[in-house]
Amino acid sequence: MTISSEILRRVRATASLQDWVVTAPQLRAAGADWNTVRRMTRSGQWVPLTRGSYWVGRDDHGPSLRSRVRGALLTCGPHVVAAGPTAARLLGIQGLPRDDGTLHLATPPGGEIRSRPGIRVHRTPLCPTARTALHGIPLTTPTRTCADLLLQLPRVEAVSVLDSALHQGLLSQGDLLAIPAHLSGRPHAPRARAWLRLADGRAESPLETRVRLICLDDGLPPPLLQWHIPDPQQGRSYRIDLGWPTHLVGVEADGKAPHSLPQALYQDRLRQNRLTTLLPGLTLLRFTWSDTHHPPSILRPLRQALGCP
């Protein structure tokens, strides 16, 4: 027995308004009984998300993060919001640790929602100004999200998150100054407040942040981020990720994805040749993610280029 076209139409009409997610009560209201739901899930046409919610989309990649969050929130009540790493991913903030699939939600203290496999519930007071919505999904504001992550993440990831949020315009300098109020009285707040001073929105990637922190920790903070080198002949300018202009030393943080293709390697070579023509004597060092796991591989050539002991 197949599901009737009218029931399917009603289900999809509801799901289309909420990231292709429907709840069990919504399925019943559309005329789908338990046997129908069981057949559709067993056949793989509908995907169970959390208790009482289903994804009924048709994307070969399966439910998106937004759909998964929507499914959780639809079954948790109006006071629950996406928070922490989940809110950051929804906002597009980079620099987070690898996603293990866990959804992070925030609820006021005393709520009945409990953590369970795949969902971690954080009980924390949330004033109205700490809440917002993105495409209809309630979540913590970028300011509150970054404050929470400062308390949850190691230093490198925490600063990377701040840099990313600033660079994308999700945080302003004024927002950065407001973060300490969200940290007050919470565990690890003194450490988190100290890390705020390290944030720099000029960093264009988490890799740049990591390289910058390695240099900073060794007493070699780059005087410039995004060092602009004008090229009047070609009517353009180049940018070097980290620069020590007085020493004619620059550092490029080469992410694997944008720099590993043959065409990208060819363009990088042309660019480097042009830069050394524009700045005779320039030393341009290039580092990758693997180098950040072994700081001496960055610091030794940098110290040599800068003439440091």
Structural domain ending residue among the three candidates 164, 196, 228: 196
The DSSP H or E segment spanning 237 is strand 236-244
HEC-encoded secondary structure of 243-263: EEHHHCEEEEECCHHHHCCHH
Residue 98 shares a structural domain with residue 168: yes
Q: Is residue 68 in some structural domain?
A: no
Q: Which one has a higher pLDDT value, 241 or 270?
A: 241
Query: How far is it, in rounded angstroms, from Cα 13 to Cα 151?
Result: 41
| DSSP H helical ranges for 205-295 | 206-217, 256-259, 262-278, 289-292
- The predicted pLDDT at position 189 comes to 95
Q: Is residue 70 in some structural domain?
A: no
Structural domain ending residue among the three candidates 196, 228, 247: 196
Angle, helices 65-74/84-91, rounded to nearest 10 degrees: 130
Q: Is residue 247 in some structural domain?
A: yes
Q: Is residue 143 in some structural domain?
A: yes
Residue 122 shares a structural domain with residue 80: yes
Residue 92 shares a structural domain with residue 174: yes
State percent of the chain over pLDDT 70.
96
**Position 136 confidence tier, pLDDT thresholds 50, 70, 90:** very high
Residue 140 shares a structural domain with residue 82: yes
Structural domain ending residue among the three candidates 196, 228, 250: 196
Residue 73 corresponds to which tokens in the numbers above? 């929130």
Provide the CATH number for the domain around residue 219.
Answer: 3.40.960
Residue 183 shares a structural domain with residue 252: no
Lowest mean pLDDT among 191-200, 201-210, 265-274: 265-274
- For residue 22, the enclosing domain spans 5-63
Residue 52 shares a structural domain with residue 96: no
Q: What is the pTM for the complete model shown?
A: 0.91
Q: Is residue 69 in some structural domain?
A: no
Residue 12 shares a structural domain with residue 101: no
Domain count along the chain: 3
Q: What's the pLDDT tens digit per position in 13-46? A: 999 999 999 999 999 999 999 999 999 999 999 9
Q: Is residue 228 in some structural domain?
A: yes
